[in-house]
A and B are shown apart, each in its own frame.
Chain A
C-alpha cells in the first residue's frame, strides 16, 4: 500500500495524538484496513528502544513504569507506555487499572499511556501489541515500555516483543523465585527487586543471584562456555593455536553473546534505584548492539510475527468456512449425540485446504522450503 493515501497515517506521522490513539484502536479491533495501515507504518519504525516489564501482580510494575517514564522525560526523551491487563474470559469485559498508578507524568502528552486488554485469542494479543508498538515507534517515541502481568505464555510472548525484558520480583517471595526458574528466568535480561526497603529484600536479591549463577553453571551451555572463552582471551591469548577451528568459533560467539542478568534494587514509590535501573537497561541495549544479538532478536521476533499472522489468517479462513456450514454448535451437538467426533470434523474441515495446498505448483513449495 502506498502511503499518503491514508489521512490517519499522515496525521500520526505529523504527531497528532488523536491519530496515534485511533491507529492503536484500529489495530486492536482488527478494524477494516488495519493491515494496510500497519504495513505503511512499518517503514517508519526502528528508532525506539522497546522495554518489556513483567512480574507477579502487585510487584509494583505500574509504579515503576511511572517513575521510569518520568525519569526519561526529565532527560528529554519521549515515552510510550502500553499497559496490558487481563480480560474476563466470560464477558470479554475488563477493568484496566494500571493508569491509576501513572500519575507522575499527568498533563504531559509526550508520555502516551495506552491500556490494552487481553481480549485477543490465539496469539492475537501479542500481534496487536507488536502493532501498537510499531504505531508508537512511527509516531516518534524514543522509549516504548510494555507492561504486563507475568502470568502465562501469552504474556511472555508479549514481553518478547521488547528488545530488553525486565522482570520484577517482590521481596520475600521465595516461592515466587522458585517458579521463576522455569519460565521467566529465560526471558529476563534484568531482574528488579522492587520494594527493596522491605524486609526480606536482601534475601530475595541473594536468591536471584544464586539462581543466575546456577544457570551459568549447568543448563546454559553458552554462558558457561563464555567464561572459558573469556579466560582464554585474557590469559594466554592462545585460543586460536592448537584448537579446533569450530571450537574457537563457538567460544568466540559465546563470549560475545554473554549477558549475565544484573539484579537491581528499587523502591518505585520513592523513585529509589530508578537511575541505576535505566543504566542497566542502557547497558543491555549496548550489549545487544555490540554483540549482534539485537539483529538476532529482531529476526526471531519477525519470524514469530509472521507465524502468528499466518496462524490467525488460516484460523480466520476455517472459522469462516465453519460459519458458512452452520456454525460450530451444530457440529458440537453431533459429537454430543455420538454421531461423529471432533477429529473427524477437523479432518473434514481441513480437507479442502489440504487439497488446495497439494495443488499448489512446485514453485510455491520451493518458496516455503527456502525459508529457513
Chain B
C-alpha cells in the first residue's frame, strides 16, 4: 500500500475584500457556498490592503484567491496583488478570480495580468464552484 491512498486533499480558498468598499455580502455568500462545496475557506475580513492579501495568500498556500471588489478600484488594487504574488513565487500556481462590478473593457486587462476569470453580477454560485473545481491548480 502506498501512503498516497491516505492523501487528504482539500481545495483551499482565500476570499478577500480589498480596498475601501464595505459591501461584503457577496463575499459572505461565496465563502459559505465554498464551504458547503467542501472547500476550506479563509475569509480576509473587510478593508484589506493588497499587501495583506498577498501575505495571507502566501502563508495559507491557497489554491484559489477570490478577490471581491465593488468599489471600481480594481485597476489599481489587482495589479498590486498580482505583483505581490509574483514576488513570493506564488503567482504561477494560484487561481486568481475577481468578483464584482468590472466593466467589460477592464476584464481583458485583468486577465492579461494573470487573473483567471472575472465574475460579474448575475453569475451563479454553481458556475463559480464548477470553475474552481475544474481549474484549481494541480500541485
Q: Is the CB of B8 within 8 A of A120?
A: yes
In the complex, chain A residues 299-344 whose Cβ is within 8 Å of any chain B Cβ: 312, 316-317, 319-320, 323
**Chain A residue contacts of B60, Cβ below 8 A:** 21, 99, 113-115
CB of A278 within 8 Å of the partner chain: no
Q: Is the CB of B2 within 8 A of A32?
A: yes
Q: Is the CB of A21 within 8 A of B51?
A: no
Taking a contact as CB atoms closer than 8 A, the residue among A32, A112, A117 that contacts B59 in the complex is A112
Taking a contact as CB atoms closer than 8 A, the residue among A21, A34, A120, A317 that contacts B58 in the complex is A21
**Chain B residue contacts of A16, Cβ below 8 A:** 89
CB of A183 within 8 Å of the partner chain: no
Taking a contact as CB atoms closer than 8 A, the residue among A31, A94, A320 that contacts B40 in the complex is A94
Please, could you name 16 A-B residue pairs with CB atoms under 8 Å apart, sorted by A? A17-B58, A21-B58, A21-B59, A21-B60, A25-B139, A32-B2, A88-B35, A88-B36, A94-B41, A95-B32, A99-B56, A100-B45, A103-B45, A113-B60, A115-B42, A323-B5
Taking a contact as CB atoms closer than 8 A, the residue among B7, B36, B88 that contacts A32 in the complex is B7
Closest to A324 in B: B1
CA distance A317 to B6 in the complex (A): 10
CA distance A319 to B37 in the complex (A): 25
In the A-B complex, the 4 residue pairs with the smallest Cβ-Cβ separation, listed nearest first, are A100-B45, A21-B61, A93-B35, A320-B1
Closest to B90 in A: A18
**Chain B residue contacts of A312, Cβ below 8 A:** 6
Q: Is the CB of B37 within 8 A of A22?
A: no
Q: Is the CB of B41 within 8 A of A96?
A: yes
The SS class assigned to the A binding surface is mixed
A interface footprint on B37-48 (CB within 8 Å = 1, 0 otherwise):
111111111000
In the complex, chain B residues 54-110 whose Cβ is within 8 Å of any chain A Cβ: 55-56, 58-61, 88-90
Q: With contacts A107-B49, A320-B1 known, what are 14 further pairs, Cβ within 8 A?
A: A16-B89, A18-B88, A21-B60, A31-B7, A32-B2, A92-B38, A93-B35, A93-B41, A95-B42, A95-B43, A106-B51, A113-B59, A115-B40, A316-B3
Q: Is the CB of B38 within 8 A of A93?
A: yes
Closest to A117 in B: B40
**Chain A residue contacts of B58, Cβ below 8 A:** 17-18, 21
Say which size band chain A's interface belongs to: 35 or more
A interface footprint on B114-126 (CB within 8 Å = 1, 0 otherwise):
0000000000000
A92/B61 contact (C-beta < 8 A), A87-B40, A99-B56 known? no
**Chain B residue contacts of A228, Cβ below 8 A:** none
**Chain B residue contacts of A112, Cβ below 8 A:** 59
CB of A365 within 8 Å of the partner chain: no
CB of B18 within 8 Å of the partner chain: no
CB of B9 within 8 Å of the partner chain: yes
**Chain A residue contacts of B61, Cβ below 8 A:** 18, 21-22, 24-25
The SS class assigned to the B binding surface is mixed
Q: How far is the CB of B55 from the nearest CB of chain A, in Å?
A: 6
CA distance A94 to B42 in the complex (A): 8
Closest to B15 in A: A95
**Chain B residue contacts of A114, Cβ below 8 A:** 59-60
CA distance A22 to B3 in the complex (A): 19
Q: Is the CB of B51 within 8 A of A17?
A: no
CB of B52 within 8 Å of the partner chain: yes
CA distance A237 to B36 in the complex (A): 67
Q: Is the CB of B40 within 8 A of A106?
A: no
CA distance A227 to B121 in the complex (A): 70
Taking a contact as CB atoms closer than 8 A, the residue among B10, B34, B42, B44 that contacts A29 in the complex is B10
Closest to A106 in B: B52
Q: How far is the CB of A75 from the nearest CB of chain B, in Å?
A: 21
CB of B31 within 8 Å of the partner chain: yes
CB of A109 within 8 Å of the partner chain: yes
Q: Is the CB of A91 within 8 A of B38?
A: yes
Taking a contact as CB atoms closer than 8 A, the residue among A91, A96, A316 that contacts B36 in the complex is A91
Q: How far is the CB of A55 from the nearest CB of chain B, in Å?
A: 21
In the complex, chain A residues 59-117 whose Cβ is within 8 Å of any chain B Cβ: 87-88, 91-97, 99-100, 103, 106-107, 109, 112-115, 117
Q: Is the CB of B59 within 8 A of A94?
A: no
